[in-house]
Structure 1
Amino acid sequence: MKRSLSILLAGMLLVGAVAISGCTDTKMEIAGTEEITTNELIAAVGTHGGEPESGFNPITGWGYNHEPLIQSTLFKKDSNGALINDLATDHSVSEDGITWTVTIRDDVTFHDGEALTAEDVAFTFNTASEAGGSVDLSMLEKATATDEYTVEFELNDDQATFINKLAVIGIVPEHAYDENYGQNPIGSGPYEFVQWDKGQQVILEADQDYYGDEPYFQKLTIVFMESDTAFAAARSGQIDLAEIPASYAGQEVEGMKIVALESIDARGISFPTQPDTGEKSEDGYAIGNDVTSDVAIRKALNIGIDRQTLVDGALNGQGEEEFTGVDKLPWGNEEAIIEDGNVEEAKKILSDAGWEDTDGDGIVEKDGVKAEFTLLYAASAQERQALAVAVSEEAKELGINIIPEGASWDKIDTLALSTPVVFGYGSLDPTDLYLKYYSESYDPSSYNNIIMYSNPTVDSYLRAAITSSDQDTANENWQMAAWDGETGFSPKGDATWMWMATLDYLYIMDEDLDIGTPKIQPHGADIFGNILEWKRTEN
Structure 2
Amino acid sequence: MKKLNKVICLSLSAMMLAAAISGCGAKETTDAVQNETTGETAPAGEMSRDNTMIYGAEFMVEKFNPILGSEYCDAMIFRGLMKTDVDCQPQCDIATDYEISDDLLTYTFNIRDDVKFHDGTTLTADDVVFTISSILDENVNSSIRSDFLLVDKVEKLSDTSLSITLKEPFPALLDKLTVGIVPEHCFEGQDINTADFNVNPVGCGPYKLVSLEAGTKCTMTRFDDYYGDKAQIENIIYLYLPDYNTRALQLKNNEIDFTFVEPSQVKELEADENLDVYVIGSADYRCVMYNFQVCDLFEDVRVRQALNYATDGQAVVDAIAHGYGQIAYSPLQKNKFNCEDIVKYDYDPEKAAALLKEAGWADTDGDGILDKDGEKLSFTLTAPVDDEVRVNIGTYLSSEWKKLGVDCTLSALGWDAIDITKCESFLLGWGSPFDADNDTYRLFTTGSADNYGFYSNETVDKALSEARTKTEDADRAACYAEFQKAFAEDPAYDLICYLDALYAGNKRISGPTDKVLGHHGAGIFWNIEDWTISE
TM (norm. structure 1) is: 0.82
Q: Quick one: which of 65, 89, 96 aligns to 1:57?
A: 65
Q: Quick one: distance in 1 between partners of 2:487 and 2:234?
A: 47
**CA deviation map 1:159-192 (0-9, x unaligned):** 432332211x211222334622233333221122
- The Cα of 1:53 is off from its aligned counterpart by 0.9
Pairs within 5 Å for 1:40-55: 40-44=52-56, 46-47=57-58, 50-54=59-63
Residue in 2 that maps onto 1:534: 531
The amino acid across from 1:218 in the alignment is E
Q: 1:75 aligns with which of 79, 82, 99?
A: 82
The answer for the alignment partner of 2:157 in structure 1 is 146
Q: Counterparts of 1:420 and 1:193 in 2: how far apart (Å)? A: 38
Instruction: Report the more deviating stretch, 293-302 or 467-476.
Output: 467-476
Pick one of 176, 181, 198 that aligns with 2:186: 176
SS at match of 1:336: coil
Cα-to-partner distance string for 1:298-317 (whole Å, 9 max, x where unaligned): 11121221011122333343
Q: Tell me, what secondary structure is at the counterpart of 2:425?
A: coil
- Kept after mapping to 1: 8 A contact 2:433/2:517: no
Structure 2's unaligned 5+ residue stretches are: 1-28, 189-194
Q: Which shifted more, 226-235 or 192-201?
A: 192-201
Q: 2:49 aligns with which of 33, 36, 39?
A: 36
Q: Give the aligned partner of residue 135 of structure 1.
A: 144
Whether 2:430 is the aligned partner of 1:425: answer yes
Give the Cα–Cα distance (whole angstroms) in 1 for the partners of residues 385 and 318 of structure 2. 21
Counterparts in 2 of 1:265 and 1:113: CA distance versus 1, 3 Å: same
Change (3 A) 1:339 1:424: closer
Task: Give the Cα separation in 2 of the matches to 1:31 and 1:431.
Answer: 38
Instruction: Show the counterpart of 1:126.
Output: 133
- In the TM superposition, residue 135 of structure 1 has moved relative to its aligned partner by 1.9
Select 2:281's aligned residue among 247, 262, 267: 262
Give 1:402 deviation, angstroms.
Answer: 1.1
Sequence identity percentage: 29
User: Within 2, Cα distance between the matches of 1:356 and 1:31?
Assistant: 64
**Inter-partner Cα distance in structure 2 for 1:249 and 1:66:** 28
What is the CA distance between 1:522 and its match in structure 2? 1.4
Counterparts in 2 of 1:157 and 1:367: CA distance versus 1, 3 Å: farther
Comparing 22-31 with 257-266, greater Cα deviation is found at: 22-31
Alignment of 1:147-226 (within 5 A): 147-156=158-167, 158-167=169-178, 169-177=179-187, 179-226=195-242
Contact 1:135 1:165 in 2 (8 A): no
Cα shift readout 1:254-273 (whole Å, capped 9, x = no counterpart): 31122222321222112245
Provide the C-alpha distance between the structure 2 equivalents of 1:42 and 1:67, rounded to a whole number of angstroms: 18
Match of 1:477 in 2: 479
Distance 1:337 1:528, change over 3 A: farther
> What amino acid is the match of 2:428?
F
Instruction: Name the SS for the 2:61 alignment partner.
Output: coil
Supply the distance in 2 between the matched residues of 1:438 and 1:408 (Cα, whole angstroms): 28
Contact 1:324–1:482 (Cα < 8 Å) also in 2: yes
Q: Which residue number corresponds to residue 311 of structure 2?
A: 305
CA contact (8 A) 2:308 2:345 kept: no
**What's the offset of the Cα at 1:477?**
1.2
User: What is the SS of the residue equivalent to 2:236?
Assistant: strand
| Aligned partners of 2:512 and 2:531 also within 8 Å | yes
Name which of structure 1's ranges 233-242 and 123-132 shifts more when overlaid on structure 2. 123-132
Change over 3 Å in CA distance of 1:464–1:250 after alignment to 2: same
Gaps of 5+ in 1: 1-19, 274-286
1:229 alignment partner in structure 2: 246
Superposed CA RMSD: 2.9
Higher relative contact order (Cα pairs below 8 Å, separated by 6+ residues)? 2
Letter in 2 for 1:499: L
Match of 1:15 in 2: none
Which secondary structure state, in structure 2, belongs to the residue aligned with residue 462 of structure 1?
helix
User: How far has the Cα of 1:497 moved from its partner?
Assistant: 1.3
Letter in 2 for 1:210: Y
User: Residues 113 and 435 (structure 1 numbering): CA distance in 2 closer, same or farther, change over 3 Å?
Assistant: closer
* C-alpha distance in 2 between matches for 1:123 and 1:448: 27
Measure how far apart 1:128 and its partner are: 3.1
Amino acid of the residue matched to residue 471 of structure 2?
A: S
CA separation of 1:212 and 1:471: change in aligned 2, threshold 3 A: farther
CA displacement at 1:343 relative to structure 2: 1.4
Matched, 1:517 2:513: yes
Post-superposition CA distance 1:138-172 (Å, at most 9, x none): 514442211111122244565432332211x2112
Q: CA deviation at 1:112?
A: 3.2
CA shift for structure 1 position 217: 1.2
Q: Aligned pairs, how many?
A: 487
Q: Are the aligned partners of 2:420 and 2:452 in contact in 1 as well (CA < 8 Å)?
A: no
DSSP-derived class of the 1:221 partner: strand
CA distance in 1, matches of 2:103, 2:220: 43
Deviations 1:201-238 (A, max 9, x none): 22222222322222221222222222322222111112
* CA distance in 2 between partners of 1:22 and 1:171 (Å): 26
Give the direction of change, closer, same or farther, for the CA distance of 1:314–1:21 in structure 2 (3 Å limit). Answer: farther
319-328 vs 129-138, which deviates more?
A: 129-138
Tell whether the 8 Å contact from 2:445 to 2:455 is kept in structure 1 after alignment. Answer: no
* 2:247 is equivalent to residue 248 of structure 1: no
Distance between the aligned counterparts of 1:308 and 1:22, measured in 2? 51
Q: Are 1:431 and 1:466, in contact at CA under 8 Å, matched by a contact in 2?
A: no
2: CA distance between counterparts of 1:33 and 1:332?
49
Residue of structure 1 aligned with 2:461, choices 459, 479, 499:
459
109, 116, 132: which one aligns with 2:116? 109
Q: 1:365 Cα deviation (Å)?
A: 3.1
* Residues 5-24 of structure 1 aligned to structure 2 (within 5 Å): 24=33
Give the whole-Å Cα distance in 1 for the aligned partners of 2:169 and 2:453: 24
Aligned to 1:450: 453
Q: Partner of 1:276 in structure 2?
A: none
Residues 291-302 of structure 1: pairs in structure 2 closer than 5 A: 291-302=297-308
Change (3 A) 1:306 1:176: same
Distance 1:333 1:113, change over 3 A: same
TM-score of the pair, normalised by structure 2: 0.82
